[in-house]
Amino acid sequence: MNIHHLELFYYVAKHGGISEAVRNMPYGIQQPAMSSQIIQLEEFLGVTLFRRRPFELTLAGAELYEFIMPFFDNLGAMADKLRGGMAQHLRIGASEIVLRDHLPALLQSMKRQFPKLKVTLRQAYQPSLESLVMRQDIDLAITLLEGKPPAGLQVRPLLELPLVLLVPASSPIRSAADLWELDRIEESLITLPANESISRNFQKGLARNGVDWFGSVEVSTLELVEVYVAHGYGIGLSVARPQVAPRKGVRILPLEDFPPVTFGVLWQGKPTPVMKAFLKTVEAAVKEIEGA
Does residue 37 have a pLDDT over 80? yes
Q: Considering the chain, what is the average pLDDT of its residues?
A: 88
Decide which of 164 and 136 is more confident. 164
Domain ranges of the chain: 3-73, 78-159+262-291, 163-259
Contact between 192 and 220 under an 8 Å Cβ cutoff? The reply is yes
| pLDDT, tens only, 207-248 | 999 999 999 999 988 889 999 999 999 999 999 887 677 888
Among 24-28, 111-115, 160-164, 244-248, name the most confident range.
Answer: 160-164
| pLDDT, tens only, 251-271 | 999 998 899 999 899 998 878
Contact between 99 and 123 under an 8 Å Cβ cutoff? The reply is yes
Stated as kind and residue range, the H or E segment containing 89 is strand 89-94
The class level of CATH for 163-259 reads alpha beta
Tell me what pLDDT residue 268 has. Answer: 85
Please give the average per-residue pLDDT across 141-154, as a whole number.
Answer: 82
| pLDDT, tens only, 194-218 | 888 899 999 999 999 999 999 999 9
**Correct CATH for 3-73 of 1.25.40.10, 3.40.190.10, 1.10.10.10, 3.90.1150.10:** 1.10.10.10
Does residue 82 have a pLDDT over 80? no
Tell me what pLDDT residue 29 has. Answer: 82
Whole-angstrom Cα distance, residue 215 to residue 225? 11
153: three-class secondary structure by DSSP: strand
Would the CATH topology of 3-73 be identical to that of 78-159+262-291?
A: no
Q: In which band, very low, low, confident or very high, does the pLDDT at 273 lie, cut at 50, 70 and 90?
A: confident
Tell me what pLDDT residue 87 has. Answer: 55
Distances (CA, A) of 243 to 157, 161, 286: 19, 12, 11
Is the CATH number of domain 78-159+262-291 3.40.190.10?
yes
| pLDDT, tens only, 6-24 | 999 999 999 999 988 888 7
Q: Work out the angle between the directed axes of helices 273-291 and 103-113 (0-180°, nearest 10).
A: 130
